[in-house]
Amino acid sequence: MNRCGNHSLSLTGFIRVEERILCLLCVSVTVFTMDSFGTNGNGNEDSLPPPPPVPSDVVPVKAELEPAKKKPARLPIARRGLGSKGRRLQLLTNHYKVNFSNNDGHFYQYSVALSYEDGRPVEGKGVGRKVIDRVQETYDSELNGKDFAYDGEKTLFTLGSLARNKLEFTVVLEDVTSNRNNGNCSPDGHGSPNEGDRKRMRRPYRAKTFKVEISFASKIPLQAISNALKGQESENYQEAIRVLDIILRQHAAKQGCLLVRQSFFHNQPNNYSDVGGGVLSCKGIHSSFRTTQSGLSLNIDTSTTMVIQPGPVVDFLISNQNVRDPYSLDWAKAKRTLKNLRIKASPSNQEYKITGLSELPCKDQLFTLKSKGGRDGEDAMEEVTVYDYFVNHRKIDLRYSADLPCINVGKPKRPTFIPLELCDLVSLQRYTKALTTLQRSSLVEKSRQKPQERMRTLSDALRSSNYSAEPMLRNCGISISSSFVEVEGRVLQAPKLKFGNGVDFNPNNGRWNLNNKKVVRPTTIERWAVVNFSARCDVRGLVKDLIKCGNMKGITIEQPFDVFEENGQFRRAPPLVRVEKMFEHMRSKLPGAPQFILCILSERKNSDLYGPWKKKNLSEVGVVTQCIAPTRVNDQYLTNVLMKINAKLGGLNSLLGVELSPSIPVVSKSPTLILGMDVSHGSPGQTDIPSIAAVVSSREWPLISKYRACVRTQSPKLEMIDNLFKKVSDKDDEGIIREILLDFYNSSGNRKPENIIIFRDGVSESQFNQVLNIELNQIIEACKFLDEKWDPKFMVVVAQKNHHTKFFQSGAPENVPPGTVVDNKVCHPRNYDFYMCAHAGMIGTSRPTHYHVLLDEIGFSPDDLQELVHSLSYVYQRSTTAISVVAPICYAHLAATQMGQFMKFEDKSETSSSHGGLNAPGAAPVPQLPKLQDSVCNSMFFC
């Protein structure tokens, strides 16, 4: 309490501090005027002498203000030691030791500029590698026999320098694929065949001349890799590793692989699996170099990508749209699906890129045909249909194309049409659109591999890759071991769980159940209703079973007020209309707002009603709701539903024993706020859908099992969360963090958090500095805005699931046990990271979560931090298993996904934005998510 005479100002609470009350009675202000200088404060003349005169020949130097000192950027902290707790276990990992003997050399980086004979730059992908290969073949002596590591676009590297800093070459390629008209297989919109067409009838491919300019850019010492292995990182190290990875990509490209970053896919029949809809999953291999505590290693893993089903275009379209024949196809949809895909046209076998479809069917689509032999020696012009040209002029039999659109492979103003049945999609073309639920489940089913099977696949992949024959790797002095790296794992003991009636339970193999147990904090459901959008459900029987199951778990459930069946006449109406009509029906019968609504839907996944229903309940009415789509109802199903309902209504299903003691190291000793942060983006191809940032925060300290969520939209594809601190005036901050801090203060006995632990999901290593210097700065600003004198300590941990390190038990068929942690040999040589497999991998091969500790002002020991991360995998209220990543991150993902459904059914024009971020000139404003009602905003509505 700060006191000034009779006036006092409490600084203990955020609410008072936020108002920034200034007691004017207690503040003495001295105002200086120009007249007050030269006096001693009482109005008397001071004894200071006047300044000396400036000589006439001296020009006064203008005093420059010192530039404001820039705050030093935060960098990820170094490792503070290794953990020691847990049962030790020898493991194998999919890293292969790399021997690296050439430390003295340099990679020389060169910029590559490719242009055609007329000076136009080469823009098409894929041509570059052919051109550079031809340069090497043709000018080998001028290049001193150097091997290139070429990235396929504008950069190449050599080991040692080329003869000069700037080199220019001219090469000719005979077999370059052209997207221009080829009269041997299609007519041109402005008359066809033309001069070039007739020449190409004798020579099927067009010869092209390319100019190649290679200019020196920089040099990278190989010593940088050795330094990084000793923990001395530099910018050069990242570049040197990048060159090694480019060598691997080039090696795969020469074998005809599809390249997706560092994953390589061969065109082999046994690599493909049909996942439906004309889409195949293609198995490949990920291969990349990593610097680790035990030296340089090669990380090899299996990888999967989606590709278009090769073969006749018409077969793909029929499968993609799930129709019986080509005459049932939706051609507007087909045009969008086919755009930019590559085809081979028969009989010429020429390759093209699809630019669109013809407006008219093949038998009606006209073009102007030029032919020799007109009067006065001029070319004759004749209007013919595409069908007539191919059947009568080219003598090609067309069986079913007459009534179907043609494929257009030309330019907008110079269309080039080919009948559909002459077009085959080429192999290894990526399918980048979002998969349906059925496709996703099929993919999971077909891509999973048991640990021992995966180990065999990886060993075979390394053997067949033949990296030892790659000349650039040999010249770098690189040789790769053929055996998995051995590491030591430790298996942490599972935390003890508390259930109702004081029951303690020790989970076994990362699993437990609620059989014969009561939830630890049950809720009572008194005012509730059931809404049925599904005609096939026995609602009365379901309600009776739910009440009975709830009573067994300690959750008191009264009879619902009523069951509201959907009126059959609205069943085919738009989702928004169906939801509104249901609420009108409910309002006419209910005496007031219910505490809870159980909603029965007909579709298990992707129901059109889900988004509008959730939005209506949470943002307009303020009622917690649970959606179900029951197919097979049993005790386990009902228990799972009740766990979600109990958590949403403020109850808890289980707690950690250490939460109630409370005896969590560090966390229980002083008020600690735990945050989980995630950003979800639109599906592939949806560039105008806003990204959704979610931050969940713990409440009711010292608990670490209870959370609430704050969700905002931001510019599409923006990974950094930009609404953490949002100052709108001198007194107002509308950011996420302020909302979270006030909730923690109010729910934790008017305590401010002294420690703030941030778990951040979904960022790559290249973005770690942004998390530390952009997001963390916003959080600190939000704290200071509430109370300038408040100085909490921070810990920032990034969790990554999207990596390629796996662990195996030697000679054992099962996955590593839950609670396995690895912080040696394959971790970073300097930075503070560890791998944890908290869950029991029952299917396929477990993927550990890779945790990176970027900052720790709090002072956790490695053991205490690993124990906390492990414990946070056991507080997820939706399941009775340990989960693979800490619960706050899972909740953030759930909250972002659920609120994202609010956007899905909005008019697309309302949700458009630009790539440029919030402040981009001309960017459409990002639509805001509707605010949740006060009655539900602090609930675990996302559970």
Given a contact cutoff of 8 angstroms between Cβ atoms, the answer to whether 495 and 627 are in contact is: no
Asked if residue 32 has pLDDT above 80, the reply is: no
Mean pLDDT calculated for residue range 600-617: 87
pLDDT band with cut points at 50, 70 and 90 for residue 805: very high
Tokens representing 22 are: 């200034």
Q: 50: cis peptide before it, omega within 30°?
A: no
Mean pLDDT calculated for residue range 156-185: 72
pLDDT band with cut points at 50, 70 and 90 for residue 374: low
pLDDT value at residue 434: 82
Asked if residue 911 has pLDDT above 90, the reply is: no
| Residue the block writes with tokens 């080199």 | 167
Mean pLDDT calculated for residue range 24-51: 45
Given a contact cutoff of 8 angstroms between Cβ atoms, the answer to whether 655 and 498 are in contact is: yes
Mean pLDDT calculated for residue range 77-106: 92
Backbone phi, then psi, for 634, in 5-degree steps? -140, -175
Asked if residue 490 has pLDDT above 60, the reply is: yes
Tokens representing 938 are: 């602090």
CB atoms within 10 A of CB 290: 20
Asked if residue 37 has pLDDT above 60, the reply is: no
pLDDT value at residue 10: 40
Mean pLDDT calculated for residue range 170-199: 49
> What DSSP letter does each residue of 64-120 carry, written as one string?
PPPPPPPPPPP-PPBP------SEEEEEEEEEEEEEE---S-EEEEEEEEEEETTSP
> What DSSP letter does each residue of 540-602 carry, written as one string?
HHHHHHHHHHHHHTT-EEPPPS-EEEPPGGGTTS-HHHHHHHHHHHHHHH-SS--SEEEEE-S
pLDDT value at residue 67: 56
- H or E element that contains 700: none
Rounded CA gap, 210 and 103, in Å? 36
pLDDT value at residue 186: 43
Asked if residue 122 has pLDDT above 90, the reply is: no
pLDDT value at residue 34: 37
- Average per-residue pLDDT for the chain: 85
pLDDT value at residue 526: 92
High-pLDDT (> 90) share of the chain, %: 58
Higher pLDDT, 939 or 46: 939
Asked if residue 26 has pLDDT above 50, the reply is: no
Mean pLDDT calculated for residue range 628-647: 93
pLDDT band with cut points at 50, 70 and 90 for residue 52: low
pLDDT value at residue 372: 64
Asked if residue 878 has pLDDT above 60, the reply is: yes
Closest CA to 695 of 654, 756, 746: 756
Tokens representing 479 are: 């040789």
pLDDT digits (tens, 9 = 90+) for 539-568: 999 999 999 999 999 999 999 999 999 988
pLDDT value at residue 63: 58
Q: For 642, how many CA atoms within 13 A lie in the half-sphere containing its CB?
A: 32
pLDDT band with cut points at 50, 70 and 90 for residue 117: confident
Residue type, 744: F
Given a contact cutoff of 8 angstroms between Cβ atoms, the answer to whether 709 and 696 are in contact is: yes
Tokens representing 351 are: 């390759």
pLDDT value at residue 706: 96
pLDDT value at residue 127: 86
> What DSSP letter does each residue of 188-241 carry, written as one string?
BTTSSS-HHHHHHHHSSS--EEEEEEEEEEEEEETHHHHHHHTT---HHHHHHH
**Of the given ranges (149-158, 207-216, 370-379, 694-703), which has the lowest mean pLDDT?**
370-379
Most confident of 210-219, 413-422, 589-598, 870-879: 870-879
Residue type, 703: L
pLDDT digits (tens, 9 = 90+) for 669-711: 999 999 999 999 877 666 778 999 999 999 999 999 999 999 9
Asked if residue 23 has pLDDT above 70, the reply is: no
Backbone phi, then psi, for 423, in 5-degree steps? -110, 130
Please, which residues bridge with residue 311 across strands? 425
> What DSSP letter does each residue of 428-492 carry, written as one string?
S-B--SPPPHHHHHHHHHHH---HHHHHHHHHHHHHHH-GGG-HHHHHTTEEEEEEEEEEEEEEP
Asked if residue 430 has pLDDT above 60, the reply is: yes
